[in-house]
Amino acid sequence: MSTKLEQIYEGKAKKVYKTDDPELFIVDYKDDATAFNGKKKGTISGKGVINNRVTNFLMEKLEKEAGVPTHFVKELSERETLVKKVTIVPLEVIIRNIAAGSMSKRLGIPEGTVLPIPTLEFSYKNDDLDDPLINDYHALAMGLATREDIDTITTLAFKVNDYLKTFFAGIGIELVDFKLEFGKTTDGTIILADEISPDTCRFWDSKTHEKLDKDRFRRDLGNVEGAYQEILHRLFGE
């Protein structure tokens, strides 16, 4: 059993703690919700519990069934999970199957347009700069990652998409887009970290196209908690 020691980081949705094992951290999911880089703030009741379970369920499947290495070690409680210690690569890796959000806005592609091929974007993870969109040359020039890291991350991100797109289709959900973060372990291996949840993915009901994710909070669409509960229901039948 790993003991929770001092907090080393608090993000917008999670806290991270050291443990008595130098190679393991504990993440603790909060109900706090922010959007537009913290400009909009609120609470989504029960979100932390749902995001913890959803993330762990998906990471375990990705690891076992798709061969994607992840930071997941063990769920400790409703909100807490033991994970491998990593240094986060400061890139937000966004995969899109259907145009929505910032892609639709920036490129004038109507929301809901199915993209002929999945696309990948990098943003530089930097709150002061509002996580600007960058390309791989920027990432290399700024020393955010090596060419090898970027190639590994790209391969793994598309692998995650192939697996999750099919998986979600099976439970009546279109995986529109999502954001991943990767980390480096002490021995330099790139693994999937952070979370995969309704906070970080766009999920649309396959039949009604109803939004079942954080866009309900971002866009004031109402029934935010209901959408998170619906994802739990589709995954676990609860």
- Give 121's strand partners: 94
Half-sphere exposure of 54 (CA within 13 A, CB side): 29
Q: Tokens at residue 23, please?
A: 């190679």
Segment contacting ligand TMP by CB under 6 A, of 134-142, 146-154, 173-181, 182-190: 173-181
Our CB check for ligand TMP shows the closer of 63 and 131 to be 131
For residue 77, count other CB atoms closer than 10 A to its CB: 10
- Does 103 help bind ligand TMP (rule: CB under 6 A)? yes
Out of 201, 224, 227, 232, the residue judged to bind ligand TMP by CB under 6 A: 201
Asked if residues 206 and 173 have their Cβ atoms less than 8 Å apart, the reply is: yes
Counting residues that bind ligand TMP (by CB under 6 A) gives 12
192: Cβ contacts below 8 Å, ≥ 6 apart: 59, 62, 68, 69, 70, 71, 156, 160, 180, 181, 182
Our CB check for ligand TMP shows the closer of 94 and 164 to be 94
57: Cβ contacts below 8 Å, ≥ 6 apart: 235, 236
- Does 44 help bind ligand TMP (rule: CB under 6 A)? no
Our CB check for ligand TMP shows the closer of 39 and 207 to be 39
- Does 119 help bind ligand TMP (rule: CB under 6 A)? no
Q: Identify residues 4-23 at the interface with ligand TMP (CB under 6 A).
A: none
Tell the smallest beta-carbon distance from residue 176 to ligand TMP (Å).
7
Positions in the binding site for ligand TMP (CB under 6 A)? 94, 100-103, 131, 177-179, 200-202
